Amino acid sequence: MNFKRLILPVFLLVALSATAQNKIVVNTDLGKEKISRHIYGHFSEHLGRCIYGGYWVGEDSDIPNTNGIRNDVVDALREMGIPNLRWPGGCFADEYHWMDGIGPRDERPTMINTHWGGVTENNHFGTHEFLELCNQLDTEPVICGNLGSGTVQEMSQWVEYLNSGNISPMTDLRKSNGREEPWGVKYWGVGNENWGCGGNMTAEYYANEMKRYSTYTKNYGDNRLYRVACGPSGADYHWMETLMRDGAPGRSFQGISLHYYTVAHSWGDKGSATDFDENDYFLTMSKTLFMDELLRNHINIMDRYDPRNRVGLIVDEWGNWHNVEPGTNPGFLYQQNTLRDAMVASVNLDLFNNYCRRVKMANIAQTVNVLQAMILTKDDEIVKTPSYYVFKMYKVHYDATLLPTDVESEFYSHDGERIPAISTSASKSEDGTIHITISNIDPNEALDLTCELRGLENVSFERGEIITGEKVNSYNDFGEAEEVSSASFSDVKVNGNQLEVNLPAKSIVMLELR
């Protein structure tokens, strides 16, 4: 992909003058699509210290816990808002055999986590522990089944174990392990990255396998599975075309995934999470904006085969991928998290909001201690990352009506290249409250912005929040005062239905209006 060209998100009308007025028009009377809260979902894999030490410490740990799950992590994620959690992978999912993770923990067999560090997995965190975690988080479980190395029978029996209330061997097995009633798990991934670590399959081969496996993932009682087919990696439009044409969309699957990670340089050298210059920052933001092109092109394919919009686009792996922190296991993917990561989160969430007609779920990778994490842990300490504060800020959009926006934006220019400086999305809650999230991507210049709420005569500014930091590589660390968090924002002037807003450089702002 050539990043020398200008990258223009489809929902932006970007002025071509370097001295352009920065203006957002929010069409308050045109909203019709709902922003699903599941766009703000998360992903946790058996990888590094995400599960063990991240969530799970065991009942005998000195770290305060409830049924083996750390209280501080649960409290922080509940405060942030976590509508769903995807598990057990990732690449791990297609080598995971669920029956190894049930029953008495001291009797569970071990396995080697061949994808992530070659460490021994003791299976102490399995189906019951995951669903206990979801219960404590008050979140929807999203389980990814093993299509790569598993069998149809194995996947079918896992669904039955989870969801059946009938008299059957799987129901009896669940009850013998201490769970009387079925959980009623709805969201079910039919394999993961089967074009790569999940089996290196062709799109045509996977489409047939997916239909076969999907046939035997049954509905039980009133619960209706929402099956997520493995979709493409990045710009693999052939994969999307094949699945939408041959995979029986709407019957065999109700959602199809998309994976895209923002990698600043190359997969061989992704760059430091904290030690980077403006060249790295600009490249990261440019590559993040490529998500717009991916969404637009994949949705166009989906629209041709599914004009009734029955199938959701599920962006169930996304986020920044940097080099691991020096001195850590390269297979554990532990990286710090800066204001740059927060900017990447805000831009992607704005895109998902604006494409919510088709984007029904997304899962940032990964929740604790891995990749673009919300929380970092060390022994009994935790850190809330800059990305954590973005997700906490953006939960005002949960299940609200998307308000279409038109944007004129200056460019953020660097080294002869340029991208739009402003990212935004807007929504209206059931009680009529309007929320606008706006990011100034430019790390150097503040922007004066006019915001018109078309369809209203008068607007009342209720409150505002801002996320920023001294530098784009500011971050929060153990034992130190937070360098990036959320603060009150009030640099807003109201005149009828127009706002005048001053956006500081490298900032993310939320405005609440009535």
pLDDT tens digits, 168-201: 999 999 999 999 999 999 999 999 999 999 999 9
Q: For residue 496, how far is the Cα from the chain centroid? A: 37
Q: For residue 327, how far is the Cα from the chain centroid? A: 27
* Phi/psi of residue 391, nearest 5 degrees: -65, -40
pLDDT tens digits, 235-271: 999 999 999 999 999 999 999 999 999 998 888 899 9
Q: How many CB atoms sit inside 10 A of residue 336's CB?
A: 21
Mean pLDDT of 53-65: 97
**Tokens linked to 191:** 């394999």
Contact yes or no for 380/61 (Cβ under 8 A): no
Q: Which of 95, 129, 317, 465 is catalytic?
A: 317
Q: What's this model's pTM, rounded to 2 decimal places?
A: 0.94
The C-alpha atoms of residue 501 and residue 481 are separated, in whole angstroms, by: 29
Catalytic: 317? yes
Contact yes or no for 256/318 (Cβ under 8 A): no
Catalytic: 417? no
Q: Map 87-124 to HEC letters.
A: ECCCHHHHHCCHHHHCCCHHHCCCEEECCCCCEEECCC
Q: Which CATH number, 3.20.20.80, 3.40.50.300, 3.40.50.150, 3.30.565.10, labels domain 37-402? A: 3.20.20.80
Task: For 179-247, give the DSSP string.
Answer: --S-----EEEE-S-TTTTTT---HHHHHHHHHHHHHTS---TT---EEEE---BTT-HHHHHHHHHHS
Classified as helix, coil or strand, 346 is: helix
Classified as helix, coil or strand, 317 is: strand
Asked if the model's pLDDT at residue 4 lies above 90, the reply is no
Q: Which of 129, 193, 410, 452 is catalytic?
A: 193
More confident residue, 1 or 180: 180
Residue 483, exposed/middle/buried by CB under 10 A (0-12, 13-18, 19+)? middle
Question: What is the percent of the chain with per-residue pLDDT over 70, rounded to a whole number?
Answer: 96
The C-alpha atoms of residue 174 and residue 172 are separated, in whole angstroms, by: 5
H-helix or E-strand spanning residue 25: strand 22-27
Asked if the model's pLDDT at residue 408 lies above 50, the reply is yes
Query: Which residues is 317 bridged to in the sheet?
Result: 259
Contact yes or no for 335/277 (Cβ under 8 A): no
Q: How is the chain split into domains, by residue range? A: 37-402
Return the pLDDT at 267: 87
Q: Are strands 255-262 and 226-229 parallel, antiparallel or unpaired?
A: parallel
The C-alpha atoms of residue 322 and residue 197 are separated, in whole angstroms, by: 20
